[in-house]
C-alpha cells in the first residue's frame, strides 16, 4: 500500500500543470524553433533570390560603373550609404520580419504565451561551483551531448549523400563560364542546405515529442500527492464527506415537517420527486414545498406514503418543476394547466369539490 502511495501512476491534474507552468516547467525543444527558422529562411531566400540578385547587380553597376568619385566628401559618402541601406532594407527587411515571425510562432506552438518575471531575477545558487560542475556532468547534459553528436553525424551524412552523386558534375565545372559555375554552385549549396534543414526539422519534431513525453512523466502524481492536493485546494475529503452527510440529514429532517403538508407529490417516476401544496385561501398559485433527486426523491415518496399523500407520475411535469422552480416558490404560469389537472384529480380522490380559483 505504501508503494502505491509513493508510485507516480496518476495523470497530472490541471492544478499540477498550472503550477509547473508557472515555474517554467514546460515541454519544449530548442532545436525545433531553430530548425523552423532555418527552413523558413531558406524558403524565403529561394523565393526572393531573383530580387536579391537584381539588387546586387544594380548596386555593382551603380557603384563600380560610371565616373569615379573624385568629389566624394563626407557628406556625399553619408548620403550614398543611407541610400544603400534604405534600398537594402527594402529587399532584406521583409525577409527578416518573416523569419522573426516564424521564430515566435515556433515557440508559441510549443508552449503558448508564457511570462515568467521570476526567471529574470538573479539566482545566486548558480554561482555555486560544485553545483555547476554537477550540472555539467549530469545525465541530462550527457544526453544532450549525445543528441548533438547524432545531429552532427546526420548533417555530415546528408551532405555526403547529396554531394557524392555530383562528383562528376563538379569536375566538369572547369568547362563552364564563370556565371554558369556560380549559378551551379549556388544551386547545389542551397538544395544541400535545404535537405539538411529538413532533416534537422524532422529530428527536432521527434525531440519535441520526446520532451513532451518526459514532461508528462515528470508531472505524474502519486496517490498521496493527489490526496495532499485535494486537501490544499478543496479541503480534507473526510471533512467534505462529513459536511455533505450533515447537509443531507438537515434536508431530510426539514422534509419530515414540510412533505406532510403537501397536497400531492409529482414523480419521474423514481428519479425525481416534487411535493406541491395549494391553499386557495392564502396562495395565488401552488408552491413547491420540497424536491429531490435520487435518495432525496425516495425519501419524499416514503414520507408521502406514510402520510397518505397522493403520488402522481408525470415525467415531463416533474422534470420541469424540479429544474425551474425553487423550494417555497410558486410554479410559473406555463405550468398552471398541467398542475391544475393533477389538483383536480387529487380533489376527486378525496371526494372534494375543486375551489373556484383553482378551477379557473
**What is the predicted pLDDT for the residue at 138?**
66
pLDDT at 3: 52
Q: What is the pLDDT of residue 1?
A: 47
3-state secondary structure of 292: strand
Helices 237-258, 295-306: crossing angle, 10 deg rounding: 30
The residue-averaged pLDDT of 62-68 equals 61
Question: Measured between alpha carbons, how far is 214 from 210 in angstroms, rounded to an integer?
Answer: 6
CA distance 41 to 96: 8
Say how far apart CA 268 and CA 314 lie, in whole Å. 6
Cα diameter, the chain? 125
- What average pLDDT does range 39-45 have in this prediction? 86
Confidence of residue 237 (pLDDT cuts 50, 70, 90): low
Lowest mean pLDDT among 28-32, 164-168, 306-310, 312-316: 164-168
Q: What is the percent of the chain with per-residue pLDDT over 90, rounded to a whole number?
A: 2
Quote the CA–CA distance of 141 and 123 in Å, as a whole number. 20
How far from chain centre, in Å, is Cα 42? 31
Query: What pLDDT digit, counting tens, does each position of 92-106 carry?
Result: 788 888 888 888 888
pLDDT at 266: 92
Cell triple for residue 70? 573624385
* pLDDT for 49: 75
Domains of the chain (ranges; CATH) run 11-228 (no CATH), 239-359 (3.40.1690.10)
Give residues with Cβ within 8 angstroms of 46, minimum separation 6.
190, 194
Binned at pLDDT 50, 70 and 90, residue 115 comes out as low
**Burial (CB count <10 Å: 0-12, 13-18, 19+), residue 60:** exposed
The answer on pLDDT for 179 being more than 70 is yes
Check whether 357 has a pLDDT greater than 70. no
- Which pLDDT score is estimated for 51? 75
Cell of 342: 393533477
Q: DSSP per residue over 156-219, as a string?
A: HHHHHHHHHTTHHHHHGGGGS-HHHHHHHHHHHHHHHHHHHHHHHHHHHHHHHHHHHHHHHHHH
CA-angle at 186, arms to 184 and 190, nearest 5°? 120
Residue 312, phi then psi, degrees to nearest 5: -110, 130
The string of pLDDT tens digits covering residues 202-234 is 888 888 888 888 888 888 888 888 777 777 766
Average pLDDT for 42-62: 75
Q: Calculate the average pLDDT of the chain.
A: 78
Whether the predicted pLDDT of 4 surpasses 60: no
pLDDT tens digits, one per residue of 182-207 = 777 878 888 888 888 888 888 888 88
Q: What is the DSSP string of 140-158?
A: HHHHHHHHHHHHHHHHHHH
The whole-number average pLDDT for the span 254-263 is: 85
**Mean pLDDT, residues 108-123:** 68
Q: Is the pLDDT of residue 35 over 50?
A: yes
Q: What is the pLDDT of residue 96?
A: 84
Which residues are 10's β-sheet partners? Answer: 221
User: What pLDDT does 296 receive?
Assistant: 84
For residue 275, what pLDDT is reported?
A: 92
State the pLDDT at residue 358.
46
Amino acid at each position: 500500500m505504501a508503494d502505491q502511495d509513493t508510485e507516480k501512476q496518476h495523470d497530472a491534474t490541471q492544478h499540477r500543470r498550472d503550477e509547473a507552468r508557472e515555474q517554467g516547467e514546460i515541454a519544449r525543444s530548442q532545436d525545433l524553433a531553430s530548425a523552423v527558422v532555418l527552413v523558413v529562411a531558406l524558403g524565403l531566400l529561394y523565393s526572393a533570390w531573383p530580387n536579391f540578385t537584381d539588387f546586387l547587380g544594380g548596386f555593382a553597376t551603380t557603384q563600380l560603373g560610371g565616373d569615379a568619385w573624385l568629389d566624394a566628401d563626407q557628406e556625399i559618402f553619408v548620403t550614398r550609404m543611407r541610400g544603400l541601406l534604405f534600398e537594402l532594407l527594402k529587399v532584406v527587411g521583409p525577409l527578416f520580419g518573416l523569419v522573426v515571425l516564424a521564430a515566435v510562432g515556433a515557440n508559441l506552438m510549443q508552449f503558448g504565451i508564457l511570462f515568467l518575471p521570476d526567471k529574470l531575477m538573479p539566482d545566486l545558487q548558480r554561482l555555486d561551483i560544485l553545483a555547476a560542475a554537477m550540472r555539467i556532468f549530469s545525465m541530462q547534459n550527457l544526453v544532450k551531448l549525445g543528441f548533438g553528436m547524432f545531429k552532427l553525424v546526420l548533417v555530415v551524412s546528408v551532405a555526403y549523400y547529396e554531394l557524392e552523386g555530383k562528383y562528376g558534375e563538379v569536375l566538369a565545372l572547369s568547362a563552364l563560364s564563370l556565371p554558369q559555375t556560380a549559378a551551379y554552385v549556388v544551386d547545389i549549396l542551397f538544395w544541400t542546405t535545404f535537405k539538411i534543414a529538413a532533416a534537422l526539422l524532422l529530428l527536432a519534431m521527434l525531440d519535441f515529442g520526446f520532451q513532451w513525453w518526459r514532461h508528462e512523466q515528470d508531472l505524474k502524481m502519486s496517490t498521496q500527492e493527489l490526496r495532499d492536493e485535494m486537501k490544499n485546494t478543496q479541503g480534507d475529503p473526510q471533512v467534505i464527506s462529513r459536511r455533505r452527510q450533515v447537509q443531507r440529514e438537515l434536508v431530510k429532517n426539514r422534509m419530515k415537517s414540510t412533505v406532510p403538508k403537501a397536497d400531492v407529490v409529482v414523480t419521474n417516476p423514481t428519479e425525481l420527486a416534487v411535493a406541491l401544496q395549494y391553499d386557495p385561501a392564502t396562495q395565488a398559485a401552488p408552491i413547491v414545498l420540497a424536491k429531490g433527486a435520487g435518495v432525496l426523491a425516495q425519501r419524499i415518496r416514503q414520507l408521502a406514503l406514510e402520510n397518505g399523500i397522493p403520488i402522481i407520475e408525470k415525467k415531463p411535469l416533474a422534470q420541469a418543476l424540479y429544474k425551474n422552480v425553487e423550494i417555497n416558490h410558486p410554479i410559473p404560469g406555463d405550468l398552471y394547466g398541467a398542475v391544475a389537472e393533477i389538483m383536480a384529480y387529487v380533489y376527486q380522490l378525496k371526494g372534494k369539490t375543486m375551489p373556484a380559483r383553482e378551477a379557473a
